[in-house]
């Protein structure tokens, strides 16, 4: 693995038998876009747009948003950039969108849910994304955070279509959406598993609490079950599924995710070389076998060590 870390990512993710696995970067601002291109990311699998909104008393004007989004899109001509709409609430409160005093903010009005009371904020953001997309030639996809139901997916896709944004998808980070994946993907063009929140909501374990670290891991068999359920439901409609949570940066977990049906991984740019090196050494059938090993384990420690033992020769 040390040897892998020294090698750079060549810009095309694939398994040993040539199955394509897009390796993308998570980007939160223009500086992050720069780091992503330097690491040869194929594109951006999660563009967190909160940087444009956080720490201010009121909503940025559409023109300001357009300028901010263009600064990121300009780094990826001809490349895929998945723009996530505002994920306010819970750990990211915003005075002009979320309300104070919710007893349980992680379970409150956050992510796409804020659009029920403040539809115009989402509408203006989609307008800004569409304008920025038209001005740059990145391949812009749009997705909503915290989608829980097929109806929410349908409404979001319709709102995107109203702005000419045709590739609209959803984050899968609520267990309900994973369990009803086939219905959600009737509407959504693609899915991106937000494993940070999916782990939190599956295990009922606050993602900010270090004390719960043994529960809060994507190696939990229950979480892997939901990854599989998501991919199975998406396959019914031929929709691609990626992972954009921290799990995507775990080089040992990457082949398991591919074996479960995931075909893109979006991560911090510095993890790209390691993940690419492991994937290049296993073929798709081995990935499926590793996924079965992980799912057969009773707990995350056993799952991880079964997979590690099986791929040790290639690590």
| Residue 196 is labelled as binding a ligand | yes
In the complex with ligand PEP, which residue's Cβ is closer, 251 or 280? 251
274 binds, among Mg ion, ligand PEP, none (CB under 5 to 8 A by kind): none
The β-bridge partners of 199 are: none
In whole angstroms, the minimum distance from the beta carbon of 194 to ligand PEP comes to 3
Of the candidate residues 13, 43, 194, 255, the single one contacting Mg ion (CB under 5 A)? 194
| Number of alpha helices (DSSP H) and beta strands (DSSP E) in the chain | 14, 8
Nearest to 237 by CA among 297, 189, 171: 189
8 A C-beta contact, residue 309 and residue 43:
no
Return the active site residues: 244
Q: Is 168 helix (H, G, I), strand (E, B) or coil?
A: strand
174 part of the interface to ligand PEP, by CB under 6 A: no
165 binds, among Mg ion, ligand PEP, none (CB under 5 to 8 A by kind): none
22 part of the interface to ligand PEP, by CB under 6 A: no
| Residue 173 is labelled as binding a ligand | yes
Nearest to 160 by CA among 130, 120, 190, 115: 130
Which span sits near ligand PEP by CB under 6 A: 58-66, 194-202, 228-236, 274-282? 194-202
In the complex with Mg ion, which residue's Cβ is closer, 131 or 192? 192
Half-sphere exposure of 184 (CA within 13 A, CB side): 35
| Residue 79 is labelled as binding a ligand | no
Total interface residues for Mg ion by CB under 5 A: 3
Of the candidate residues 59, 197, 274, 286, the single one contacting Mg ion (CB under 5 A)? 197
Which span sits near ligand PEP by CB under 6 A: 15-23, 195-203, 210-218, 282-290? 195-203
Tokens of 315: 């690590």
Helix or strand run (H / E) with residue 231:
helix 221-236
Cα 182 off chain centre by: 18
195 part of the interface to ligand PEP, by CB under 6 A: yes
196 part of the interface to ligand PEP, by CB under 6 A: yes
- C-alpha–C-alpha distance, residues 127 and 197, integer Å: 27
In the complex with Mg ion, which residue's Cβ is closer, 152 or 197? 197
Residue 264 has φ and ψ, to the nearest 5°, of -150, 145
| H helix runs in 55-141, sequence order | 62-73, 114-117, 119-135
34 part of the interface to ligand PEP, by CB under 6 A: no
| Residue 3 is labelled as binding a ligand | no
Helices 30-38 and 62-73, packing angle to 10 deg: 10
- Using CB under 6 A as the binding rule, the residues of this chain from 78 to 107 that contact ligand PEP are 87
Neighbour tally for 4: CB within 10 Å: 18
In whole angstroms, the minimum distance from the beta carbon of 137 to ligand PEP comes to 26
Q: Is 67 helix (H, G, I), strand (E, B) or coil?
A: helix
Question: Residue ranges for the binding site for phosphoenolpyruvate?
Answer: 48, 84, 196-197, 207
Please report, in range form, the residues annotated as the binding site: 48, 84, 173, 196-197, 207
Which residues contact Mg ion (rule: CB under 5 A)? 173, 194, 197
Residues forming the site for ligand PEP (CB under 6 A): 46, 48, 87, 173, 194-197, 244-245
């Amino acid at each position: 693995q040390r040897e892998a870390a020294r090698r750079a990512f060549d810009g095309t993710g694939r398994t040993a038998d040539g199955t394509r696995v897009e390796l993308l970067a998570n980007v939160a601002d223009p500086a992050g876009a720069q780091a992503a291109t330097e690491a040869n990311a194929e594109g951006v699998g999660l563009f967190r747009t909160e940087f444009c909104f956080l720490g201010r008393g009121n909503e940025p004007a559409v023109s300001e948003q357009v300028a901010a989004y263009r600064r990121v899109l300009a780094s990826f001509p001809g490349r895929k950039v998945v723009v996530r709409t505002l994920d306010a609430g819970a750990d990211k409160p915003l005075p002009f969108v979320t309300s104070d005093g919710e007893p349980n903010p992680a379970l409150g009005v956050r992510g796409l849910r804020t659009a029920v009371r403040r539809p115009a904020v989402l509408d203006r953001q989609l307008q800004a994304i569409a304008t920025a997309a038209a001005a740059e030639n990145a391949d812009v996809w749009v997705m909503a955070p915290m989608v829980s139901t097929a109806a929410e997916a349908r409404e979001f896709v319709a709102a995107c279509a109203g702005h000419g944004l045709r590739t609209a998808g959803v984050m899968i980070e609520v267990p309900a959406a994973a369990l009803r994946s086939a219905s959600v993907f009737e509407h959504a063009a693609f899915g991106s598993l937000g494993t940070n929140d999916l782990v939190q909501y599956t295990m009922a374990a606050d993602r900010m609490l270090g004390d719960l670290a043994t529960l809060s891991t994507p190696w939990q068999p229950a979480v892997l079950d939901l990854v599989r359920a998501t991919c199975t439901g998406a396959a019914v409609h031929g929709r691609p599924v990626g992972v954009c949570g921290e799990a995507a940066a775990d080089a040992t977990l990457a082949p398991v995710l591919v074996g479960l049906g995931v075909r893109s991984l979006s991560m911090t740019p510095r993890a790209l070389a390691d993940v690419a090196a492991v994937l290049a050494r296993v073929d798709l059938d081995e990935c499926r076998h590793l996924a079965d090993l992980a799912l057969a384990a009773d707990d995350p420690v056993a799952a991880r060590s079964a997979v590690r033992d099986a791929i040790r020769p290639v690590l």
